Amino acid sequence: MLERSIIQGRGFKNVEENGRITGFQIVLRNPNYRGTAASLLDGVDVTVDGEHWESHVPLWTLQGKTHTLESLRATTDVRWQLDEYATITVPKPGGLSAGVHTIEVTVYLRRPYFPPAVSRSAFPASAKATIVPPVPAGGIRHAVSTYSYSGDIYTSMSMEDVMADIADMGATGIEILGEGNIPGYPTPDPAWIDNWHAMLERYSLTPTNYGSWIDTAMWHDRDLTEDEGAAQLQLDLRLASQLGFSSIRPKFGVTSFQLDPHPIWEGVVERSLDLAEELDIVICPEIHSPTPIKHPVTQGYIDFIERTGSKHFKLLVDTGIFQTAAVDDGHEGIEVEDGKRPAFLEPLAVPMADLAEVLPHVHFIQAKFFEIDENLHDLHVPWEDIVKTLQDAGWEGWLSSEYEGRREPYRGREQVRRQHALVRQLQAKHG
């Protein structure tokens, strides 16, 4: 699906020629209600952060070929279809800085079915969009969780759009929710699986972590047994393996406000370790606010690692535990009563020393966040401290964007780009 905005967030980037940045590109969808012969295009005004380029200056890439406005006007077999993009290339030596920019465009189309005096129609559009810098070499690997696009997936984004967004920002890993993103779960159509692998190849993406659930309170009258829990985990391990994932996060039902997992967790995992080893998938329980690192729940997982000596059970850290400011944007399904926010949205502010201490056991990090402003300032999560801690330790796992802020359409897509721009700037600063 195309983005609703005429100016697409995906595709906004600097252009490199022979090792030098010569300009930038903006991707547009056709603002009219019909496709048009390209000869009827009459230029595009572009203004970025107040700097202006006249309508005859930008180059147009349509249906795989790049034209000047002059050559576009003379074409006889080029079209701008409603379901196709136009890529607008604007010359600007050095390009645009990493971060958020204000873009304004006016697309000019001639419409011969309007009276000649008014047939040159102006279609103005504006947007904020983010230039994401390249990934610094070595160290942290960059992924995105489909969770970031909750509400967008299946309403304005297909799985292919998710992958295209991830690849466009130069990230290389994709994290999914098994029970969210696999049509026909737990028995997807083999054609869906084939297409999944074909798309991974097309967008050069690596499957990273697969989110699963073990719903211990699945029925009203009794809890899930250890047998049933193990069957669920093993079903998801096999499915994750079929799809190429290297870790799985089983979310067990909990029994307390401190998120103590249901007591079957240990038996369920222990019975599944042989399969995890066979499939080479790491089982990762999630350390999630309000549970900090220095806590019996986390310690229980570390004890399990030490007791079993398994290389296929490690920790997954959700960066919500490092939050230093509260989030009051609301959360689906959570009612805030008497102004009292739920514990997991309170700032837990786990110290970096705790992260450093536990990092050898950490396989995967969900880069939970809620809002990054136009100056690439995160309102809640201390990315500079986190990135420095990871880099100082030489940690080389996946950092997977998990946007959890307001679910306005397209907001997650733009916020994830901002997070990648921010984290990469910090990597470069401390690298």
Total residues contacting a copy of itself (rule CB under 8 A)? 71
Query: Binding segment for a copy of itself among 31-39, 276-284, 347-355, 385-393 (CB under 8 A)?
Result: 31-39
Measured from the CB atom, the residue of 116 and 190 that comes closer to a copy of itself is 116
User: Taking the complex as a whole, how short is the minimal distance between the CB of residue 179 and a copy of itself, in angstroms?
Assistant: 4
Nearest Cα to Cα of residue 366 among 397, 388, 334: 397
User: Taking the complex as a whole, how short is the minimal distance between the CB of residue 128 and a copy of itself, in angstroms?
Assistant: 18
Those residues whose C-beta lies under 8 Å from the C-beta of residue 178, and which sit 6 or more positions away, are 185, 186, 210, 211, 212, 213, 236, 239, 240
Query: Binding segment for a copy of itself among 47-55, 107-115, 277-285, 366-374 (CB under 8 A)?
Result: 107-115
Spell 373-406 as b/e; 16+ CB within 10 A means b.
eeebebbbbbbeebbbbbbeeebebbbbbbbbbe
Site for a copy of itself in 208-267 (CB under 8 A): 211, 213, 215-220, 251-257, 259, 262
**CA dist list (Å): 129 to 48, 100, 103, 175:** 10, 5, 7, 24
User: Taking the complex as a whole, how short is the minimal distance between the CB of residue 123 and a copy of itself, in angstroms?
Assistant: 5
User: Taking the complex as a whole, how short is the minimal distance between the CB of residue 385 and a copy of itself, in angstroms?
Assistant: 28
Assess 31 for contact with a copy of itself (CB under 8 A).
yes
Per the annotation, the verdict on 220 as an active-site residue is: no
Query: Binding segment for a copy of itself among 106-114, 238-246, 302-310, 416-424 (CB under 8 A)?
Result: 106-114
Catalytic residue (one of 101, 142, 262, 288): 288
User: How far apart are alpha carbons 94 and 170 in whole angstroms?
Assistant: 19
DSSP string computed for 158-206: -HHHHHHHHHHTT--EEEEEHHHHSTTTTS--HHHHHHHHHHHHHTT-E
Measured from the CB atom, the residue of 216 and 425 that comes closer to a copy of itself is 216
Using CB under 8 A, pick the residue from 27, 86, 103, 153 that binds a copy of itself: 153
Measured from the CB atom, the residue of 121 and 172 that comes closer to a copy of itself is 121
Measured from the CB atom, the residue of 17 and 83 that comes closer to a copy of itself is 83
Measured from the CB atom, the residue of 244 and 290 that comes closer to a copy of itself is 290
Those residues whose C-beta lies under 8 Å from the C-beta of residue 89, and which sit 6 or more positions away, are 15, 23, 24, 25, 58, 59, 60, 61, 66
CA atoms within a 13 Å half-sphere pointing along the CA-CB vector of 86? 30
User: Taking the complex as a whole, how short is the minimal distance between the CB of residue 420 and a copy of itself, in angstroms?
Assistant: 21
Crossing angle for the helix pair 226-242 and 264-279, to the nearest 10 degrees: 30
User: Taking the complex as a whole, how short is the minimal distance between the CB of residue 66 and a copy of itself, in angstroms?
Assistant: 20
Site for a copy of itself in 168-187 (CB under 8 A): 177, 179-181, 183-185
Phi, psi for residue 79 in degrees, rounded to 5: -130, 155
Report CA dihedral (170, 130, 409, 248) to the nearest 10 degrees: 30
Q: Quick one: tokens of 138?
A: 């070595």
Measured from the CB atom, the residue of 17 and 33 that comes closer to a copy of itself is 33
Site for a copy of itself in 333-362 (CB under 8 A): 333-335, 342
User: Taking the complex as a whole, how short is the minimal distance between the CB of residue 110 and a copy of itself, in angstroms?
Assistant: 6
User: Taking the complex as a whole, how short is the minimal distance between the CB of residue 430 and a copy of itself, in angstroms?
Assistant: 33
Residues β-bridged to residue 247: 209, 282
Q: Are 232 and 214 in contact (CB under 8 A)?
A: yes
Measured from the CB atom, the residue of 260 and 385 that comes closer to a copy of itself is 260
Assess 192 for contact with a copy of itself (CB under 8 A).
no
What are the DSSP E strand ranges found in 18-157?
20-29, 36-37, 41-48, 51-53, 59-62, 65-67, 79-80, 85-91, 99-110, 120-131, 141-145
Site for a copy of itself in 110-139 (CB under 8 A): 110-119, 121-123
User: How far apart are alpha carbons 301 and 297 in whole angstroms?
Assistant: 7
Assess 18 for contact with a copy of itself (CB under 8 A).
no
Assess 64 for contact with a copy of itself (CB under 8 A).
no
Site for a copy of itself in 33-62 (CB under 8 A): 33-37, 39-40
Assess 332 for contact with a copy of itself (CB under 8 A).
yes
Tokens 């496709």, residue located:
35
Measured from the CB atom, the residue of 162 and 386 that comes closer to a copy of itself is 162
- What residues are annotated to the active site? 288
